[in-house]
Amino acid sequence: MRFVIVTGMSGAGKSTALKTLEDFGYFCVDNLPVELIPKFAEIAYDSKTEVNNVAIGVDIRSGELRRLSDYLEEFRAQDYPYEILFLDATDEVLVKRYKETRRSHPLARGERVESGIVKERKRIGFLREMASFIIDTSNLLTREFRSELEKIFVENQDYDNFIVTIVSFGFKYGIPRDADMVLDVRFLPNPYYIPELKPMTGNERPVQDFVMNAPESVEFLEKLKEMLLFLIPNYRREGKNQLVVAIGCTGGKHRSVTLANSLYRVLLSSACSVRIEHRDIERDTITKG
């Protein structure tokens, strides 16, 4: 049986995680008071209880969270295995989500949402340090979030808490605001000026062949790979759990898409989770339309 404690920052996706785990066949309970968790675990681990997997939602509304550390020590002594899933997001994303839902932060108490977030990070930080899995949902779509949960709790895959997001974009539409690293590939040969390639995108083979047949494209990709494979373990040691790499060309349709796809394939074999997004691939079509 898997006993999963789902926790993290308010607004980071705990409710979505519990609903998803319920879809996966987990028995889920949200907002269980901390004092009741030991009794709940005892019932869950009773051989007479016909429950295969359990997930409980715990957050700052659950009571004195520090007591949870003592209970988890008891779990280990009683041989009750457990896992902690900690959900996080950047302060900016959390504030945006609260504004969109028009809800107040449970610790804000009439103050700004930002002040509630600061207080919460202090109170719940120890659980992040104890976490078995950390998922930063800042840049994850719901289906991507569900996919990450499925890898961990259904497919039992080895999961790396570090997520690399590769974003292709067009400089004429602005640099992605959440980018940690911005790379300009406008020095590469441009398919835009080849009539038969102009309407295509970097997702199509003729454009990919045109761009990657240039020696500088291959060399750039190799150097970028070496740099990221050097940076990722160092970022991880510093406690960073995500990296957004933005690759841009003029319109975000040909060169940046091709290089983003190539980098994505390269990093798939590395020890981290990788996702890709082509932000502006259809922008020209929509704008001209």
Count the alpha carbons within 13 Å of 230 in the hemisphere toward its beta carbon. Answer: 6
User: Do 137 and 109 fall into the same domain?
Assistant: yes
Pair (31, 96) in one structural domain:
yes
CA 221 to chain centre: 24
Residue 142: inside a domain, yes or no? yes
Clarify whether residues 172 and 141 are in a common domain.
no
Q: Supply the pLDDT for residue 159.
A: 64
Per-residue model confidence as pLDDT tens for the chain (289 residues): 899 999 999 899 999 999 999 999 999 999 888 899 999 998 888 877 777 899 999 988 877 888 888 898 888 888 889 999 999 998 889 988 888 877 778 887 778 888 889 999 998 889 988 898 989 898 888 888 888 898 888 887 666 667 899 999 999 999 998 899 999 999 999 999 999 999 999 999 999 999 999 999 999 999 999 999 999 888 887 777 789 999 999 999 999 999 999 999 999 877 677 889 999 998 875 444 4
Q: Are residues 123 and 16 part of one domain?
A: yes
Q: Which of 149, 128, 78, 99 is nearest to 239 (CA)?
A: 128
Quote the CA–CA distance of 114 and 137 in Å, as a whole number: 18
Are 147 and 190 found together in one domain?
A: no
Tell me the CATH number at 65: 3.40.50.300
In a domain, 269, yes or no: yes
Shared domain for 108 and 244, answered yes or no, is no
Same domain, 254 and 216: yes
Residue 34 is classified by DSSP as: G
- The residue out of 128, 153, 178 marking a domain boundary is 153
Classify residue 158: in a domain, yes or no.
Answer: no
91 with 184, same domain? no
- Calpha distance 194→214 (Å, rounded): 15
Taking the C-alpha atoms of residue 176 and residue 171, their distance in angstroms, rounded to an integer, is 9
**169: domain range?**
163-288
Is residue 185 assigned to a domain? yes
pLDDT value of position 144: 86
Which of 92, 124, 153 terminates a domain? The answer is 153
Q: Is residue 82 part of a domain?
A: yes
Query: 100 and 148 share a domain?
Result: yes
Query: How far apart are the C-alpha atoms of 149 and 145, rounded to whole Å?
Result: 6
Q: Last residue of a domain, which of 120, 153, 186?
A: 153
How many structural domains are present in the chain? 2
Does this model's pTM top 0.75? My answer is no
Residues 137, 177 within the same domain:
no
Cβ distance 9 to 138 under 8 Å? no
- The verdict on 72 and 185 lying in the same domain is no
Residues 10 and 85 in one domain: yes
* pLDDT value at residue 238: 79
